[in-house]
């Protein structure tokens, strides 16, 4: 493994992941916290690059990685398909940079982002004639009862045409 190629691959990987992160924050339509979710993009791309760089010359290491990945499960709750698309882009960056296919992966990522941006712009322009929709995530800190949650939903319904309650989670805190 050439150290100079490895350093270049890591830097390109980090740069491309950062570009994808900025695009995700700017054009994503997810309800989740985009900044928090996208904070993992750069480290994930770098780690994938590192792993692929190390195992690309060894069949035994490749099979070991497959075995390890079959044991470890990805615990992050992916609530929306759009998040999965961006995770696949980040993994593709790591795979491409780890295999020293820098030109191919750079071209592919920029092409993918252009398609995503065009598609996102197309969706926005096609919905201009519809009533304005607002996607809002509500985070309530503190102890709140089910009755208070139902009262909140009733109040929101009074001022909106449609309300879609997607999910709720509680923690011990």
Identify the pLDDT of residue 10: 96
Residue 172 CA to residue 143 CA, distance in Å, equals: 10
The pair of structure tokens assigned to 48 is: 């994938």
Rounded alpha-carbon distances, angstroms, from residue 65 to 34, 47, 52, 62, 71: 30, 13, 10, 5, 10
* Separation CA 4–CA 157 (nearest Å): 59
What tens-digit pLDDT sequence spans the chain (173 residues)?
Answer: 789 999 999 999 999 999 999 999 988 877 777 888 889 899 999 998 988 888 887 767 776 766 666 555 555 566 678 888 898 899 899 989 988 999 999 999 999 999 998 888 766 655 554 455 666 677 777 777 888 888 888 888 887 777 777 767 777 66
Structure token pair of residue 160 = 């909106």
- What pLDDT does residue 131 have? 53
Residue 98: CA count within 13 A, CB half-sphere: 20
Structure pTM?
Answer: 0.67
pLDDT score at 154: 84
In contact, 26 and 55? CB cutoff 8 Å: no
């Amino acid at each position: 493994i050439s150290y100079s190629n490895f350093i270049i691959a890591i830097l390109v990987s980090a740069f491309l992941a950062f570009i994808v992160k900025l695009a995700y924050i700017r054009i994503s339509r997810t309800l989740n916290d985009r900044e928090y979710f996208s904070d993992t993009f750069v480290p994930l791309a770098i780690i994938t690059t590192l792993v692929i760089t190390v195992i690309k010359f060894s069949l035994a290491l490749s099979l070991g990685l497959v075995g390890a990945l079959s044991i470890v499960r990805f615990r992050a709750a992916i609530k929306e398909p759009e998040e999965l698309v961006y995770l696949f882009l980040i993994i593709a960056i790591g795979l491409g940079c780890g295999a020293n296919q820098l030109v191919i992966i750079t071209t592919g990522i920029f092409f993918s982002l252009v398609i995503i941006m065009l598609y996102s712009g197309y969706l926005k322009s096609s919905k201009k004639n519809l009533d304005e929709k607002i996607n809002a995530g509500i985070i309530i800190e503190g102890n709140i009862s089910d009755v208070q949650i139902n009262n909140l939903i009733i109040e929101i319904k009074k001022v909106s045409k449609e309300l879609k309650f997607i999910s709720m989670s509680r923690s011990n805190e």
